[in-house]
Amino acid sequence: MFCVFSCLMPSPETMALTVAVAAIAVLGMGIVAGVGDRRAKIRLHHRNLLLDAALNNMSQGVNMFGADGCLLLANERYLRMYGLSGDVVKPGCGIRDLVAARVKSGTFFAIDAERYIADLFTRLQSRTPSTKTLELTDGRVISVSNQPMADGGWVVTHEDITDRHRAGKELERTRNFLDTVLENVPATIVVKDARDLRYVLLNRASEEFYGIPRERMIGKTAREVFPTVGADMEARDRQQLAAGGRQVFEARPVKTPGNGLRMVTSTRLSIHDDDGKPQYLVNVLEDVTARKEAEARIAHMVHYDALTDLPNRAAFNECFAGTLERGAREKETFALVSIDLDRFKEVNDVFGPETGDQVLRTISGRLQTAAEGAFLARLGGDEFALIVRGGAQPASSAELAERLMAAVADEVEIGGHRLKVGLSIGIAIYPTDGTDASALIGNADAALYRAKTGGRGSIRFFEADMDQRLRERRAMVHDLRAAIERGELTVHYQPQARLDGEIMGFEALVRWRHPTRGLIPPGVFVPVAEESGLILALGEWVLREACREAASWPKPLNLAVNLSPIQLRDGNLPGLVHAVLLESGLPPCRLELEITESMLVDDLPRAVSILSRLKLLGVQIAMDDFGTGYSSLSTLQAFAFDRIKIDQSFISSLPGNRQSATIVRAVIGLGRGLGLPVIAEGVETEDQLAFLAVEDCLEVQGYLVGKPLPIKAYAEAIGREPLRSERVA
């Protein structure tokens, strides 16, 4: 647009010469008028009027100076432009007078007047034409051109270019803004000339995308920049130019010179000139490589186990659903294999979770190799599942199960430890053992449960009675939950006594009398409670009930309550114990919480922290079943227990078993050395009691002292009057 304006407007030099010629003509005409006849004078006067009108109606301000620096003429536009009076600005006026009038009117340029005059005379002496753009104090912008004349004078034109100057500035700001936006757009923008497909513009993102400076691409074709794929790129460009409009391409690979293979989405469009011919080809590319890689990682995370990189439960569910659908459609049989690791918990308890994770990774790799392409998934923890298609069933799955067993037969060596982990495997066959997901999975789990309860390290196929047993177990979970809510549970109390027979306290033991099945042993329902998560509710109920009861005893005897490993892992346990003590009114010093050493191995620092918080409440902490674990001595070193309980498995074979006698003797000596009371569990005979007396074990518990019974059976021991019926009996 500005080029067009420049072409239409005369240059300052041309304008100055034109004005000079006009002025000389006016002067020449004046001379002729002085010597011509009257008629010529009239014509000359008329022409002068016309020239004067033309001069005063110019859009530029004009003034002319003689060789002596005095003003020869100034048009009306010049006077109006600078707010000058014709009484001051008139022929004969000097440059300094003219500048002074300008300064007085407040329309002089925003520069020093003396410096301006000196600079002007310097240029005039050199007879050099000049053009300057100057800003007035009122903000207007004037273009001033000086043009020397042959006689030593000069002509000056003044043009108000304020609007044009502002438009140019705005255009420049807009161009800079667009350049900034273009440079900072994260998408790669490439512009090619439609005639020869040479690169004409690339933004900064394009340099990062291609991995080379844009200067190496500008002015070149794709063939020159991309020797191997340039021809294909140009072919696509020509197709785009022929098609016109705008085309969007989904993610596709693009090989770049500096960044290798990238995945991009692109939008291509052609820009046409006023004649409708293609002028430019614009290509906007978005590098989606990182996004695609992230999507792939997320998809992998969704469907694969992070520890073993095996398919996870979500992937198993998808595969299993598809296998069931295909089996129903194509009348195809397949096997579902459920797998649990044997002795894995022991590895975790003894050597810690890091070693356990390494074992899982190693075993997973062995299982995957042995599976030979069958779909293997880790469902969580040490649970795995296999979907076995092809081959005759159940023979094919039996053969595979044997390979799996053999794969884990060798010990796993980790951190200098040689660890032995086995498998228990349960198998259900489609459609014989179930035609839907729920039935088939349930029956495979039932077979696995039979394998685990039958001695572990075995393979079991589903049988009809397995389902019934599994249903019974699930029913027990349901009934146990209801029993806690309905108050069907009771607490029995087994006395703990000194050697002289004096009862010093009781251990609280939970009992469950089922309304239809009768008394269910703790060894049956407590493991079910732990597996189902009901142990937290069960343990809280026992603690509340036992503390409430003990607080009512006339004699301040001690109360021992067992804790489950799951309870100890619950960070809220100290808060629960504190609340129960406050509610029941039982002094903390009368409560003793019993834990087994295996409960500390999984996360010793956390367990010690929780036990320390419990001791701050004033309760006692006893180590139960001492000697049956793997790290008894280190556990005693890690935490200051208040009592040691010798496991009944050592007491039961006294005094005849030499090994048991040695172990019991050593534990009693250890307790004496550490200053810890030692209580022997499972004392049932006088001979056992005599042996313990000789070895100076001062506290005992067992059937010889008393069986676990309702507290009313020990009314006299706790300081209550026995009921009349009990006194008669």
> How does DSSP assign 382-441, residue by residue?
TEEEEEEESSSTTHHHHHHHHHHHHHT-SPEEETTEEE--EEEEEEEEETTT-SSHHHHH
Same domain for 384 and 531, yes or no, is no
Q: What is the pLDDT of residues 457-505, one digit of tens each?
A: 788 888 866 556 666 777 888 888 888 888 789 999 999 999 989 999 9
In a domain, 285, yes or no: yes
Please identify, among 462, 486, 510, the residue that sits at the C-terminal boundary of a domain. Answer: 462
In a domain, 531, yes or no: yes
Average pLDDT over residues 661-673: 90
Average pLDDT over residues 579-586: 95
The whole-angstrom separation of Cα 242 and Cα 223 is: 20
Average pLDDT over residues 417-428: 88
Same domain for 203 and 73, yes or no, is no
Give residue 63's pLDDT: 87
Q: What is the pLDDT of residues 589-614, one digit of tens each?
A: 999 999 887 777 656 778 888 899 99
Give residue 590's pLDDT: 96
In a domain, 727, yes or no: no
Q: Which residue has the higher pLDDT, 268 or 66?
A: 66
Q: Which residue has the higher pLDDT, 546 or 88?
A: 546
Q: Which CATH number covers residue 220?
A: 3.30.450.20
Q: Which residue has the higher pLDDT, 50 or 409?
A: 409
Same domain for 229 and 288, yes or no, is yes
Residue 19 scores a pLDDT above 60: no
Cβ atoms of 536 and 569 within 8 Å: the answer is no
Average pLDDT over residues 670-677: 90
Q: Which residue has the higher pLDDT, 210 or 227?
A: 210
Give residue 169's pLDDT: 83
Please identify, among 292, 314, 347, the residue that sits at the C-terminal boundary of a domain. Answer: 292
Give residue 26's pLDDT: 46
Residue 729 scores a pLDDT above 70: no
The H or E element spanning position 160 is strand 154-160
Residue 123 scores a pLDDT above 50: yes
In a domain, 167, yes or no: no
Q: What is the pLDDT of residues 612-631, one digit of tens each?
A: 999 999 999 998 877 665 54
In a domain, 82, yes or no: yes
Same domain for 559 and 636, yes or no, is yes
Residue written as tokens 């030099």? 13
Q: What is the pLDDT of residues 676-709, one digit of tens each?
A: 999 999 999 999 999 999 999 999 999 999 999 9
Same domain for 240 and 332, yes or no, is no
Q: What is the domain count for the chain?
A: 4
Q: Which residue has the higher pLDDT, 30 or 199?
A: 199
Give residue 24's pLDDT: 46
pTM score, two decimals? 0.46
In a domain, 178, yes or no: no
Same domain for 537 and 633, yes or no, is yes
Q: Which CATH number covers residue 423?
A: 3.30.70.270
Give residue 508's pLDDT: 95
Q: Which domain holds residue 246?
A: 185-292
The whole-angstrom separation of Cα 363 and Cα 25 is: 112
Residue 81 scores a pLDDT above 70: yes
Q: Which CATH number covers residue 638?
A: 3.20.20.450
Please identify, among 429, 462, 495, the residue that sits at the C-terminal boundary of a domain. Answer: 462
Q: Calculate the average pLDDT of the chain.
A: 83
Give residue 248's pLDDT: 67
Residue 584 scores a pLDDT above 90: yes
The whole-angstrom separation of Cα 554 and Cα 563 is: 26
Cβ atoms of 344 and 422 within 8 Å: the answer is no
Copy the structure tokens of residue 417: 């430890």
Same domain for 81 and 115, yes or no, is yes
Give residue 682's pLDDT: 92
Phi, psi (rounded to 5 degrees) for 648: -65, -20
The whole-angstrom separation of Cα 188 and Cα 283 is: 8
In a domain, 177, yes or no: no
Same domain for 427 and 524, yes or no, is no
Same domain for 458 and 486, yes or no, is no
Same domain for 487 and 622, yes or no, is yes
In a domain, 175, yes or no: no
Same domain for 197 and 316, yes or no, is no
Same domain for 288 and 334, yes or no, is no
Average pLDDT over residues 218-224: 85
Copy the structure tokens of residue 493: 């109390």
Copy the structure tokens of residue 592: 């003793």
Give residue 572's pLDDT: 86
Give residue 83's pLDDT: 87
